[in-house]
Amino acid sequence: MTVRSEKSGTKTAARHVDVAVIGSGFSGLGAAIKLKELGTHSYIVLERGAEVGGTWRDNTYPGAACDVPSQLYSYSFAPGDWSRSFSRQPEIQAYLRNVAQEAGVLDNHLFNCEVNEARWDEAAAQWVVETSQGRVTARFLISGVGALCEPALPDIPGIESFSGEMFHSARWDHSADLKGKRVAVIGTGASAIQIVPAIAPDVAHLDVYQRTAPWVLPRFDRPYFGIERWALRHVPGLQRLARAGIYAARETQVVGLAKAPKLMAGLQALAQGMIYAQIRNPELRAKVTPDFRIGCKRMLISNAYYPALDRENVDLVTDRIAEVRENSVVTADGTEREIDALIIATGFHVTDSPMFAGIFGRDGRSLAAVFEENGMQGYKGTTVAGFPNLFFLVGPNTGLGHTSMVFMIESQLNYVVDALKTIKRDNIATFEVSPEAQASYNASLQEQLKPTVWMTGGCASWYLDKHGNNTTLWPGFTFSFRSMLKNFDAENYGITVMADTPETRTPAQAEPATAATGKKASR
């Protein structure tokens, strides 16, 4: 099936596929590869960008790089030929592009294709997806929309009146020349601490607006020697061994993050040591020292951030922004600082992604409406009650504070593959996780999260929703998550099966079985 389109706005005839995938970052691309391996030819990947990559295609700001070691931040089935221990954005994007080409899945992509909405059609037992390039219907829908894809803009009075260059870090304007200009950066998160050192030497003056100081750890990054790259390519098992070693080392952090937060004291001492070693000014030291336990908010890594803040042409501003004017930023103390360019590095919509508003389930309500009422909940991070035949990659409580999300994505893909195998074997038409199974699962999750540093560390973070629940992070070891998703547990789902007439292949009219009724999927 060739559905590839390179031109935005190109209309295609309505088409039906077995599986529609939204997005082609690590999640969606991984899904496409697994679908092909499974022998599924009837699938389509709907990607709003011009190529694969997702977050790593869109975030092209100066200094963009990964904070997970290269060997671990790649598919286990497609190890990369990395040039350094922590990869930078261009290399990660090139890796994803090469993986897609080598896997032969690009012909099943529809690029420059915006998904406007996806709605469950109960009568037809299928998803109806409205896109900028026409309608797609599919038996199964896989959301591969990442958590860090929709920029969050600050609600600051007057910001729309700013007359200079202004853009979000995830939508970097490469036509903007910042050299010799007065620049402001709003935010001190993962993107900002990479941007600030990259632009500070070239701008006339840089104001960095900080609401909450982050904990920053050393970045143990270096280029690989030629002999190392040769060995990783040619010595059997070496790259797999290196990956396993990094994985094991990262997993040790779970003990402090999720089991015994007091054990984070060593890392916190290391971070405090960095402050004293890299910043000379006592007043600035005080400003960058967080008042919460390390790990409560995302831990950041950089060797260059603190030295950049200590430059003569850089000021760290901790007063609240009161308003933005045509050529300046005004803080609550009345100070007005004139600027020529404004860079917004205020993160992303995670627990309130706009994507949620466009996916409508069995009762006609959107994911956004369901999450608004109950918080962002799912089952094993991969399915949601009320949304039949939907797989949700990087769903609720699948995020991490210590290691690679690619590991979690592959774990979810294992679950999806086993589900599709079960569906084919048992002639299943629809599946939907029971509300009881989902509620029980989430009650257990929240109980496990109570003693973690994310709940007890004394901070407010985007990990928590408006209900005060952590609906973002997985509260334990990642190998336990993988074990949990090894097999599709049909007994916790409502199931309908295909009618006996193979020519029609329509869902049987029998009432769906659910875990609550004690009925099990037909075998």
Provide the pLDDT for residue 286.
98
Residue 517 has pLDDT above 70, yes or no: no
Provide the pLDDT for residue 463.
87
435 belongs to a structural domain: yes
Classify each residue of 250-272 as buried b or exposed e, where b means 16 or more C-beta atoms within 10 Å of its C-beta.
bbebbebbbeebeebeebbeebe
CATH classification at residue 188: 3.50.50.60
202 and 252 housed in the same domain? yes
**Given pLDDT bands bounded at 50, 70 and 90, which one contains residue 149?**
low
34 and 146 housed in the same domain? yes
Provide the pLDDT for residue 460.
84
238 belongs to a structural domain: yes
167 and 146 housed in the same domain? no
280 and 372 housed in the same domain? no
191 and 304 housed in the same domain? yes
517 belongs to a structural domain: no
**Given pLDDT bands bounded at 50, 70 and 90, which one contains residue 514?**
very low
519 belongs to a structural domain: no
Greater confidence (502 vs 198) lies with 198
- Contact indicator for 276, 503 with CB cutoff of 8 Å: no
Classify each residue of 304-335 as buried b or exposed e, where b means 16 or more C-beta atoms within 10 Å of its C-beta.
bbbbbbbeeebebbeeebbebbebbbbbeeee
2 belongs to a structural domain: no
Mean pLDDT of the chain: 91
Rounded to an integer, the average pLDDT of 272-295 is 97
357 and 464 housed in the same domain? yes
Q: What angle do CA 69, 245, 275 make, to 5 degrees?
A: 50
Residue 516 has pLDDT above 80, yes or no: no
Q: Is 127 left (phi over 0), alpha (psi -120 to 50) or beta?
A: beta
367 and 405 housed in the same domain? yes
Strand pairing class (390-392; 134-143): parallel
Q: List, in order, residues 6 or more apart from 483 with CB less than 8 Å away.
A: none
319 belongs to a structural domain: yes
5 belongs to a structural domain: no
113 and 165 housed in the same domain? no
The count of domains in the chain is: 2
Q: Give pLDDT tens digits for 422-460.
A: 999 999 999 999 999 999 999 999 999 999 999 999 998
Residue 133 has pLDDT above 70, yes or no: yes
Q: Give pLDDT tens digits for 191-215.
A: 999 999 999 999 999 999 999 999 9
130 and 172 housed in the same domain? no
- Contact indicator for 194, 219 with CB cutoff of 8 Å: no
134 and 190 housed in the same domain? no
Q: Give pLDDT tens digits for 305-326.
A: 999 999 999 999 999 999 999 9
323 and 390 housed in the same domain? no
- Rounded to 10°, the helix 26-37/89-103 angle is 20
Residues of the domain holding 415: 15-150+350-497
Residue 364 has pLDDT above 90, yes or no: yes
- Rounded to 10°, the helix 405-425/26-37 angle is 40
Burial class (CB in 10 A: 0-12, 13-18, 19+), 294: buried
266 belongs to a structural domain: yes
171 and 281 housed in the same domain? yes
Residue 521 has pLDDT above 80, yes or no: no
**Given pLDDT bands bounded at 50, 70 and 90, which one contains residue 152?**
confident
- Contact indicator for 300, 290 with CB cutoff of 8 Å: no
- Contact indicator for 6, 111 with CB cutoff of 8 Å: yes
Within a 10 A sphere around the Cβ of 423, how many other Cβ atoms? 23
What's the token pair of residue 311?
A: 């430059």
Is 0.85 topped by the overall pTM? yes
Give the end of a domain, one of 316, 344, 372. 344
